[in-house]
Amino acid sequence: MIYYSHRTRKALAEGHVYLPLGFAHYSYGSVCQKFLELFRRGGIKAQEVLMPEIYANAAHLSPPGGGKRPVHLAFKPYEEIRLLKGAANVAHVAWEFSKVPSFEGLPFDHPRRDNVLNDYVHVLGMASEIWVGCEYTKSVFEAHGLKRVQVMPAPIEVGPPKAESGGDERLAGLFKIGCLEFTRKAIAGCIDSTGAPRLDNSTMFRAEECRANGGRVFFSVFNPGDPRKNIATLFLGFQEYLHRSKRNDLLIVKLVLDGSPQSVRQALSTYMPKHFDYAGVPISFVDCANILLVPERLPAEELEALYQAADFYICTSAAEGQGLPVQEAMAAGLVPISAAETAMADYIKPAHAIVLQTSEAPIPLQVSEAYGLWGVSWQLAGHQELVRALQQAAEMPRDEYEQRSQAARAFIQKEYGFDVIRKKLLKRMKELAA
């Protein structure tokens, strides 16, 4: 029997099935859903346990027999992990930094010592096993003395090959996706509005028109409240690329938000300006009608349509625990433009990607204080490096693009496809239950 838990205390208290999009830790729910789909395909029964710590023994949850202990998978942030007694407890976690918060080295009166769960090394050490999404996280954990760490990434669905522009019937009826141009006037109007943001329903039309005229469509997905995303590089680099190249290419940015007017205004007025503050440039420096923001929550088929409408996927993240949007874009046939750092080092390869060069930079003070990490740096790609990569993308011959597109899909299928991860997971589950 497999048990799983994924809701945080915040989600339970507020009655959320998952934390809303854009909140911290919402992505644990996304990873959990991918594993539940994998279980369904493999004929494995999984049962949710809201608060595993309240049970005296796992036997109270399942009928005894078979001589095998149950497995409890916790898809939660560190401070929310709780053990199910009598089970093999597996913590499926993400981590993107070179150090793990621990009480070792902290002053005795440090405020983080108020809660023992702030010591992530201690929390992870209680689990029977730790599953992570990439080799980078595994190496960091092992360097901190943690044992029994397995790379068990979330599976990625690989669909049919990417359709040629104008020939995909799946795009029919999807021209209602609303967008907001990243211009000073449009952004100011949205922030000052008291109602729902006024969106232009021309996202798909503009993408199809761009490709029909020989232009390139670039796509990116990110949570604007996440400081790892390095979005100032994305916007500054794309604007300068258009200015230098005199091209009319398009950048579509899907903001990971719950779609409420309040969350959109907060993203534009608070979260996104902070990214530009890190870069030392005001957000008003970007005034570009060829950057389209898609702030609404989209059903799966509309998000897939955006992938199908684009040619390249841009990831300017400084760090990722797996990077699901990049992998899903590759599975859809987009050629990624990304650094090969942290999790991305596992799948961003010169054979199928345009690799961004990076340089070392300290993590923002906000991140240091949130996690209790000091003296930690990460690798950032600058906006000039993105300009170079975008020019390379624009000049890429069609046959080379097709070759890279097919290679990207094939790589994800081989390393992250449902069948691949299912076989790996079933083997590990048997070993845990023995």
**118-134 confidence digits (pLDDT tens):** 899 999 999 999 999 99
Query: What is the pLDDT at residue 163?
Result: 59
Model confidence band, residue 166 (pLDDT cutoffs 50, 70, 90): very low
Model confidence band, residue 17 (pLDDT cutoffs 50, 70, 90): confident
Q: Is the pLDDT of residue 415 over 60?
A: yes
Mean pLDDT of 361-378: 86
Q: Round the average pLDDT of the chain to a whole number and report it.
A: 90
Are 128 and 231 in the same domain? no
Helix, strand, coil shares of the chain as percentages rounded to 5?
Answer: 45, 15, 40
Is 72 within a domain?
yes
Strand partners, 217: 250
Is 161 within a domain?
no
H or E element, residue 359: strand 359-362
Query: What is the pLDDT at residue 109?
Result: 82
**Range of lowest pLDDT (18-27, 87-96, 191-200):** 18-27
Is 163 within a domain?
no
Model confidence band, residue 8 (pLDDT cutoffs 50, 70, 90): confident
**49-93 confidence digits (pLDDT tens):** 999 999 988 888 865 545 678 899 999 999 899 999 999 999 999
Is 162 within a domain?
no
Percentage of the chain beyond pLDDT 70 is 95
Query: What is the pLDDT at residue 49?
Result: 93
Contacts of 386 (CB under 8 A, 6+ apart): 233, 234, 237, 238, 241, 314, 316, 337, 356
Query: What is the pLDDT at residue 69?
Result: 82
Are 140 and 208 in the same domain? no
Is 164 within a domain?
no
Percentage of the chain beyond pLDDT 90 is 67
**Triad 60, 66, 71: Cα angle to 5°:** 55
Are 219 and 130 in the same domain? no
Are 123 and 34 in the same domain? yes
> In terms of Cα–Cα distance, which of 20, 24, 78, 16 is closest to 225?
24
> What pTM, to 2 d.p., does this model score?
0.94
Residue 110: count of CB within 10 angstroms of its CB: 12
Q: Which of 22-36, 268-282, 321-335, 354-368 has the highest mean pLDDT?
A: 321-335
DSSP 8-state class, residue 168: -
Mean pLDDT of 355-361: 96
Strand partners, 293: 180, 253
Are 192 and 340 in the same domain? yes
Token output for 212: 């029909």
Q: What is the CATH number of the domain that holds 94?
A: 3.40.50
**Range of lowest pLDDT (156-165, 221-230, 355-364):** 156-165
Is 121 within a domain?
yes
**Triad 11, 14, 72: Cα angle to 5°:** 30
Query: What is the pLDDT at residue 237?
Result: 98
Segments forming the whole domain that contains residue 89:
2-155+417-433
Is 382 within a domain?
yes
Structure-model confidence comparison of residues 104 and 326, the more confident one: 326
> In terms of Cα–Cα distance, which of 237, 248, 291 is closest to 268?
291
The total of structural domains in the chain comes to 2
> In terms of Cα–Cα distance, which of 311, 359, 345 is closest to 164?
311
Contacts of 266 (CB under 8 A, 6+ apart): none
DSSP class per residue in 123-149: HHHHSSEEEESSHHHHHHHHHTT---E
Are 113 and 182 in the same domain? no
- For residue 222, the one-letter residue type is F
Are 218 and 354 in the same domain? yes
Query: What is the pLDDT at residue 330?
Result: 97
Model confidence band, residue 108 (pLDDT cutoffs 50, 70, 90): confident
Is 357 within a domain?
yes
Q: How big is the chain, counted in residues?
A: 434
DSSP 8-state class, residue 200: B
- CA dist., res. 200 & res. 198, Å (int): 7
Mean pLDDT of 295-312: 90
**250-292 confidence digits (pLDDT tens):** 999 999 988 788 999 999 999 999 999 988 899 999 999 999 9
Model confidence band, residue 162 (pLDDT cutoffs 50, 70, 90): low
Token output for 71: 């497995």
Token output for 301: 């088929």
Token output for 123: 């929390």
Residue 214 near residue 282 (C-beta atoms within 8 A) = no
Q: What is the CATH number of the domain that holds 273?
A: 3.40.50.2000
Are 391 and 345 in the same domain? yes
Model confidence band, residue 172 (pLDDT cutoffs 50, 70, 90): low
